[in-house]
Structure 1
Amino acid sequence: MSADNSITVDVVSDVVCPWCFIGQKRLDKAVAAASDVEVHIRWRPFQLDPTIPPEGKDRREYMMAKFGSEQRIREIHARIEPLGEAEGISFAFDAIKVAPNTLDAHRLIRWAGAAGEAVQNRLVRRLFQLNFEEGANLGDHTVLIEAARKAGMDASVVETLLPTDADVEAVRTEIATASRMGITGVPCFLLEGKYAVMGAQDADTLTDAIRQVAAAKARGELEKVD
Structure 2
Amino acid sequence: MTAVNIDIVSDVMCPWCYVGKKRLEAALKELPQNIEVDVRWRPYQLDATLPKEGKDRKEYLSEKFGGSERAKQIYDAILDAGREENIPFDFEAIAVSPNTLDAHRIIRWAASEAPGVQDRLVDILFRAYFLEGKNIGDNTILLEAAEKAGMDRAITEGLLSGTADCLEVEQEIEVARKMGVTGVPCFIIDNKYAVMGAQTADVLSNAIAEVARQKETELASEEQVAEET
TM-score of the superposition, structure 2-length normalised? 0.93
Structure 1: gaps spanning 5 or more residues: 222-226
Match of 2:151 in 1: 153
Select which of 22, 26, 30 maps to 1:29: 26
Alignment partners' CA distance in 1, 2:136 and 2:79: 20
- The residue identity in structure 1 corresponding to 2:214 is A
Identity among equivalent positions (%) equals: 52
Alignment partners' CA distance in 1, 2:173 and 2:107: 13
Secondary structure in structure 1 of the residue aligned to 2:175: helix
RMSD between superposed Cα atoms in Å: 1.2
For the Cα contact (< 8 Å) 1:191–1:210, is it kept in 2?
yes
Alignment partners' CA distance in 2, 1:122 and 1:32: 17
Match of 1:224 in 2: none
Match of 2:6 in 1: 9
**1:19-75 alpha-carbon deviations (Å, 9 max, x no partner):** 000000000000111142111100000000001111111111111111122211211
Which segments of structure 1 move beyond 3 Å, counting only runs of 4 or more?
none
- The residue identity in structure 2 corresponding to 1:121 is D
Match of 1:172 in 2: 170
Count of paired positions: 219
Alignment of 1:126-205 (within 5 A): 126-205=124-203
Structure 2: gaps spanning 5 or more residues: 220-229
Select which of 11, 16, 19 maps to 1:19: 16
For the Cα contact (< 8 Å) 1:42–1:117, is it kept in 2?
no
TM-score of the superposition, structure 1-length normalised? 0.94
- The residue identity in structure 1 corresponding to 2:109 is W
Larger radius of gyration between Structure 1 and Structure 2: 2
- Offset at 1:116? 3.1
